[in-house]
Amino acid sequence: MHFGPRHWHGKSEFLLDKLNSYAPDIVINTGDSTTDALENEFAAAGDFLKSIECQYVVSIPGNHDKRNMRSADYFRQYIENIEVIRPLNRDKCRKNNIFLEGNTNGIKEHFTDINFLKNITVNGESLLIVCLDSNVLYKDNGFVDKEILKTLSHTINKASYDKIILLTHHSILDTDSDPLFNSRIVVEFVREHNIEHVFCGHTHHLSIMRSTDLYHKHSFTQYKNGSLSSGNTLNDTNMFLYYKDFGTEAMEIHVVRAIVENDDVQFKEEIISTR
Ligand SMILES: [Fe+2]
């Protein structure tokens, strides 16, 4: 959504009405809610997200949301009031700026990575949502810390659930000029936990891809839509995806494009069958 200078000029009320008309079970926001991770941008994004009529609105941070040493604090204050998962062994972490020197900068949160799990129940089934922070503080390209993946695996292995999905800001299949450099270890993580559905964002580009590992006999699908309400939509219009009967044989994906026309927003819907 890029609240701040890169936010669109459309009216959010029209977008909210359209989103709410689907009465979704879950809403997934794959990051870059802000432009520069400023507090007023986080607050505006938080207000928008709270206006979505859905019990489970799950957001992860994007690279733009990590342009501030207070990103983790702001994210928890305005977007998701979650318990961040800490690494099993902090000395093994290799991501740049994953820990900040608290005594020199005086900020409350020294640990900058925002990884968490959410276990929710939808239609009687428990869904484990793994939220992986692929972003590096102050950088646009991505990096995932091996020790964080190990810690997440440790926590996932103790959890009980019927279905599992992964949310990560950077794509793990196709890339752009600011890619996730070590996506391979995330693909391995996806296979290890038998994850079949991965949601990502970042590139402002619609892409729904299935990847099959012929050696390990594992397939997963990565869902990536364009931006929801951004000012820079060079690749396509703003859009969101609506997944009907998600994860079933009958699943339909609705690509809902939002086109700003003067003071109005027009919506164009295209239905993709996944069979
Ligand atoms: Fe991004």
Residue 158 Cα to ligand 1 middle (Å): 31
Angle at 38 between CA 32 and CA 41, to 5 degrees: 60
The identity of residue 227, as a single letter, is S
Does residue 107 carry a pLDDT above 70?
A: no
Q: What are φ and ψ of residue 266, in 5° steps?
A: -100, 140
pLDDT in tens, 78-95: 999 999 999 999 999 999
Mean pLDDT within 188-194: 98
The Cα–Cα gap between 199 and 118 comes to 15
Residues 133/143, Cβ–Cβ less than 8 Å: no
Residue 60 Cα to ligand 1 middle (Å): 11
The identity of residue 72, as a single letter, is A
Residue 171 Cα to ligand 1 middle (Å): 10
Residue 56 Cα to ligand 1 middle (Å): 22
- DSSP assignments along 98-114, one per residue: SB--HHHH--S--B---
**Structure-block tokens of residue 156:** 């996932």
Domain ranges of the chain: 12-273
Does residue 74 carry a pLDDT above 80?
A: yes
Q: Looking at 104-118, 150-164, 234-248, which range is the least confident one?
A: 104-118
Q: Is the dihedral of CA 205, 221, 71, 19 positive or negative?
A: positive
| Residue, of 273 and 190, whose pLDDT is higher | 190
Residue 237 Cα to ligand 1 middle (Å): 16
| pLDDT for the residue numbered 236 | 75
| pLDDT for the residue numbered 103 | 67
Residue 125 Cα to ligand 1 middle (Å): 31
pTM greater than 0.85 (yes/no): yes
Residue 255 Cα to ligand 1 middle (Å): 20
| Residue, of 102 and 242, whose pLDDT is higher | 242
Mean pLDDT within 244-263: 93
Q: Which CATH superfamily, name and number, covers 12-273?
A: Metallo-dependent phosphatases (3.60.21.10)
The identity of residue 211, as a single letter, is S
Q: At what angle do helices 146-158 and 183-192 cross, to 10 degrees?
A: 10
Residue 20 Cα to ligand 1 middle (Å): 25
| pLDDT for the residue numbered 105 | 64
Q: Which is nearest to 13 in space by CA: 258, 201, 271?
A: 258
Residue 250 Cα to ligand 1 middle (Å): 31
Does residue 47 carry a pLDDT above 80?
A: yes
The Cα–Cα gap between 65 and 44 comes to 13
Does residue 129 carry a pLDDT above 90?
A: yes
